[in-house]
Each structure stands twice: as structure tokens, then as C-alpha cells.
Amino acid sequence: MRAAITSPIRRLTVAICTWNRHQLLRQTLEGMTNLLVPPGLEWEVLVINNNSTDATDQVIESFGDRLPVRRVFEAQPGLSCARNRAVHEATGEYIIWTDDDVLVAPDWMVEYHRAFERWPSAVVFGGPIQPWFPNAPPSWLAAAWPQVANAYACIDYGRDAVPLTPRRVPFGASFAIQTARQRTLLYDIGRGVRPGSRVGGEETDVVRRALEAGDAGWWVPTARVRHYIPAERQTIQYLRRWYSGYGEYLGRFDHSTGFVRLFGVPRWVVRQALFGEMRYCVRRWTSDSPIWMEDLKAASTAWGQMRGYRMGAR
């Protein structure tokens, strides 16, 4: 094991927020039983049950003799609410965030721990998220994967450790933050997946706020996880919904001025929605997926932006 022999870091929190996905959660916790732990380090797996009605509690309890797992119930629905509860409950000096549908590499925690020691003044850290397909994905998806990986919470900034920037941020399935700093940067409950909204971005908002305030961050290329991508998400419909939700996020939180608007929506967004849709409808049947995927993304994002701009104008 490559962990340092001694360390000023005494305790870490691994945080997972979950809602009604007990079968996936079981796989995630099972994978964590194989984690390597740096010598002398105390740690906890903090699972926030965000008002689940399935067997989530039973699954958490079943790992009590194999993991330092602690269950906390958060009744207010919404991922940001669950994340904020985890921030309040965390006992570690750093919080390492992941999701309930992730498989962590055995040295995942060791590699983050090494990064905390290497850059003690840094606040945020992030690692690569690779796909975990339970089946062979459709050929069109495999060919266009580099263009849509972000829609599946997959990300990779390369094999070298590089500073994070507001344009180079980690995703929620694998990132870490100093707990004390996190408590000054709570998650916006107006963002994040919640009943009635699939708009995410609550974690990248926190990371960007930290970096824009001058906090240092580092990419940790060796802190690897795999993100589960079920067959029902390997569809055009899923991608349309995701990019539409992303567009809604952009529109709702865009306060720029100077654009000519139609019913509150910048005219260029309307053009992008209409012409992008037209190009997609033609190229879907005449070109390979890496070509028409860009049209699908542009059109779907623009339709979502139109909805977001109208919501933001209310």
C-alpha cells in the first residue's frame, strides 16, 4: 500500500446521499469493503437516507460489521438538502463525496489521502469517473461517447495532476473538500436533483465558488471510480432529458443582459433550438452519431434554456 507512514490527518468522512436505490447502494457499499486504509487513519462512511421508502436502512445496517458505516435520515427531499445534512454530520477533516451507484477502486481513499498530504493548503480535489456498463452499449453511444460522457457524470482530465480551475471542475461521484471550508460553502437547495426537477449542478456550483474565491484545488488522476449506467439511460430520450435539464440550469442562472429577447428568451437561443432540431432530424438518418450528436445536444440544451429563461424571469 502506498500510503504515507505518518500523517497529520486523523479522520476522513466518505459521504453518500441516497434515495430509493437500495440495490445499487448495496453494490457501492460492497465495493467499499475492499478499500485500502492508510495506517492510523480513522474513517466513516456517512450515508444520508433522503426519505427513502425502500430497503435502504436494511442495506446500510447489513454492512455494520464490515464498514464504519453511519446512517443519518434527512426528511427534506432533494440532493442539496441531503448533502447539507452530510456536511453538518461529517466528523472527518475532509469529506470525500461519491454516489450510491458507484464502484470505487481499492486505492481510491489512499490516493485522496496522499493528495491531501501533498497539497495541505488545497481545499478541493477531484478524480476520474469512468463508465460502468452492465451491458454492451449501443453502437451509436459507443461512437459518440467522448461527446456525451458528461451526461453520465463521467469525466477525465488526464493522467497528470493539474490544478483545478472554474472551467476544470470535478463531478459529484468523486470529489473531496476540506470539511471546515465546506461548512462555509453549503449547497444551494435551488439546485440539485429533487422532486419536480432533474436539474443538477449543485456540486460544481460549490467547487466553482471555492475556486473563484481563491481556494486551491487539484486533479487527482489516481483516485478512480466507475459510475453505473443502466440500459434505460443508454437512449436518445435520456440524453434529450439530460441536455434539456442542463440547458434549464444555464437559462435559470444566466443574468447577462444585452440580448434581444422574445418573451424573455434571447433570440439566439430560439434560433439554436429550431435550427439545431432541424439539423438533427436530417443528420440522424444521413450521418454517423458523432456528427448528429452535436445537433441533438445543441437543440436539447436550447429547448431547456428557453424553459430556464422563462422560469428565471418570473
Locate 292 and state its grid cell: 448528429
**Cα–Cα distance, 137 to 239 (Å, whole number):** 14
What is the reported pLDDT for 256?
A: 65
Architecture, CATH, for domain 11-230: Alpha-Beta Complex (3.90)
Burial class (CB in 10 A: 0-12, 13-18, 19+), 232: exposed
Task: Cell 433522503: give the residue.
Answer: 50
Average pLDDT over residues 19-37: 97
Condensed to tens digits (0 to 9), the pLDDT of residues 89-147 reads: 999 999 999 999 999 999 999 999 999 999 999 999 999 999 999 999 999 999 999 99
Strands 261-262 and 69-73, bridge-based pairing:
unpaired
Average pLDDT over residues 42-71: 97
**Cα–Cα distance, 42 to 206 (Å, whole number):** 26
pLDDT at 166 over 70: yes
Give the pTM. 0.88
